[in-house]
Amino acid sequence: MIRPIVLYGADVLTKPTKPVTHISDAEIQLVKDMVETMYKAPGVGLAANQVGVGKRIMVTDPSAGEKRNQLITIINPEIVVREGEQTEDEGCLSIPGFSAVVLRPAKVILDSTSTAKKLPLKRKTCWRAPFVTRWIISTECSFWTI
């Protein structure tokens, strides 16, 4: 189901999101809805609070749906290591028509949980750091900073 994208200034975007403690069918459906919403927008990433849900969940696909194997879903993301720097021109589905050049890490190492129903902690090195960090900061109710 495509969900409406919440626009900048909405209350849900001003509060830090809550960690997911249990992955139920509702969270699995939320992730599916977020992916469908992101591709329809079209966009390359979406945080749960951008569809009105204050949970620490994000999806990103730098190919914008052209290569679905690049889709990443991350629950409870935390950056534990940042390396290097690079700049990117970024937009935001919650701020239509606006973009800015921002400085992001070139590589990050994340702690996160799995979409499996258990919640095992996973540590992953992410080479797509700009895409991932952009939506992690959205879950922290911040725009264009890291």
Q: Is the dihedral of CA 62, 64, 66, 71 positive or negative?
A: positive
Which positions ≥6 away from 46 have C-beta within 8 Å? 5, 34, 37, 38, 58, 59, 60, 93, 135
Using DSSP, state whether 25 is helix, strand or coil.
helix
For the beta carbon of residue 22, count every other beta carbon within 10 angstroms: 9
Q: Hey, where are the domains in the chain?
A: 11-139
| Percentage of the residues of the chain whose pLDDT score is greater than 90 | 34
Give residue-wise pLDDT tens across range 65-84. 888 888 888 888 888 888 88
The pTM of this model reads 0.82
Least confident of 11-15, 18-22, 115-119: 115-119
pLDDT tens digit sequence for 32-58: 999 999 999 999 899 999 999 999 999
Pair 142, 83: CB distance under 8 Å = no
Classified by CATH at the fold level, domain 11-139 comes out as Peptide Deformylase (3.90.45)
